[in-house]
Amino acid sequence: MTRRYFGTDGIRGRVGEEPITADFMLKLGWALGRVLSRERRPLVMIGKDTRISGYMFESAMEAGLSAAGADIRLLGPMPTPAIAYLTTTFHAGAGIVISASHNPHEDNGVKFFSGDGQKLDDATEAAIEDELDKPLVTVPSAELGKVVRLSDASGRYIEFCKGRVSRSTRFDQLRLVIDCANGATYQVGPEVFRELGAEVMTIGDEPDGLNINVDCGSTHPARLQAAVREYRADLGIALDGDGDRVLMVDERGELVDGDELLFIIASGRHAAGKLRGPVVGTLMSNLGLELALKGKGIDFRRAKVGDRYVMEMLRREKGLIGGESSGHLVCLDRTTTGDGIISALQVLEIMQHTGRTLHELKSGMQRLPQTMINVPIRRGTNPAQDETVRQAVQAVEGELGDAGRVLLRPSGTEPVVRVMVEGRDPDLVSRCAGRIADVVGEVATGA
């Protein structure tokens, strides 16, 4: 489907620039309300992260939905997966998340969940875009949507998260540092772990509307690594601005990325006899993850980059566990979408059941050296399809053998081809990546 506004994860952009403007959000809320009202009077949940523009867009979408005859529940600052959960529990027609995730405060966007707590399908997104072309017509006054602020949203979600681990699970002996990225998890995140018994210290928990993701959270984990060492904590948890991603820091202060967390969770499910279907990563998942899972007899598949495609493959292959190196992890046996808090809980529960530290658990997977080079190209071109480039790739693949991998991927956001090479020898990997990048550059410039 060709989308004018929707990307792989909703609509996102610079605040004040089309389409991230107040008037567009008004019309977008109205368009969603129109689509949902084809079946019945809809109820829509609205949550947001902590960036300052969320107030403006929340009001605009609220007005548009009301004009279309949709009732609204305002949730305030809440993690993206919390909106997915509350949408299902209230039997709402849809959930709206006003957030730009791990981006800075100058950006914002909108993500949507269907009534079953999953991202909207292509047909619904197409229907919304069709409505955007129509003039906004307000329903009769007696049919306008009503707005209620849900005062206990945080408590409901905290209880849901705690219920995603076994009733016997307690973290009384754990000392944690949690980095909330000055984002949507700043209230509920620490509380979940405290109520399960952990001693919790927090950073990145003082949002001011402008500091979301600034030198903190999963995109900037250095501060968390230092805090884990300073407080001699058992581990650190780094969430992103909207709470759907997580990275962790082990007791030594070493970063544990999404691939390593995916390995730990999948291995834990496998050992308990509760893993079904393949584990799904992406084209960018480290080869070390694939080799480690295969060593345990666990099937591993690669989807296109983006949590949308991970979810599609999991559903198609009837899998339960998947995710990306960035820390966007999906545990479909626990919830319907990527959830940083729930993913972290799975890791802590495995630590408790095995008696092993986070460092010990991650040691079962050895990350292979990886080199990535961005090669500038002209927009609309793809030198990766050139025969000269293909020959260069084949030569490198032959040199690396089974313990190496080459990936050429045009960027979806900038005019570059990403040349990625993995293998066991870092020097060989670096040289091979450079050779391919040189060939791609020559083809791209016509040299």
Does residue 218 contact residue 242 with C-beta atoms inside 8 Å? no
Q: Is residue 260 located within the same domain as residue 135? A: no
Question: What ranges in 299-422 are assigned the alpha helix state H?
Answer: 307-317, 340-354, 358-362, 387-400
pLDDT digits (tens, 9 = 90+) for 152-177: 999 999 999 999 999 999 999 999 99
Give Cα 277 to chain centroid, integer Å: 21
Read off the pLDDT of residues 68-87 as tens digits, 9 standing for 90 and up. Answer: 999 999 999 999 999 999 99
Q: State whether 230 and 351 are in the same domain.
A: yes
> What was the pLDDT predicted at 299?
98
CATH classification of the domain holding 87: 3.40.120.10
Q: Torsions phi, psi of 400, nearest 5?
A: -80, -35
Question: 5 lies in a domain?
Answer: no
pLDDT digits 0-9 by tens, 232-278? 999 999 999 999 999 999 999 999 999 999 999 999 999 999 999 99
pLDDT at residue number 411 = 77
Nearest to 193 by CA among 209, 176, 180, 179: 176
Q: What angle do CA 89, 154, 118 make, to 5 degrees?
A: 40
Q: Are residues 210 and 327 in the same domain?
A: yes
Query: Domain ends where: 151, 166, 181?
Result: 151
pLDDT score of 2: 66
One domain, residues 267 and 232: yes
- Give the DSSP H/E element, type plus range, for residue 262: helix 258-271
Q: Which domain range does residue 100 map to?
A: 11-151
Q: Looking at 37, 101, 114, 326, which residue is catalytic?
A: 101
Instruction: Give pLDDT tens digits for 192-219.
Output: 999 999 999 999 999 999 999 999 999 9
- What digits encode the pLDDT tens for the residues 274-318? 999 999 999 999 999 999 999 999 999 999 988 889 999 999 999
**Domain final position from 307, 336, 362:** 362
One domain for residues 17 and 53:
yes
Total number of domains constituting the chain? 3
To the query of whether residue 101 is one of the catalytic residues in this protein, the response is: yes
Residue 139 CB neighbours (<10 A): 18
Q: Does residue 382 share a domain with residue 292? A: no
Whether the predicted model's global pTM rises above the 0.75 cut? yes
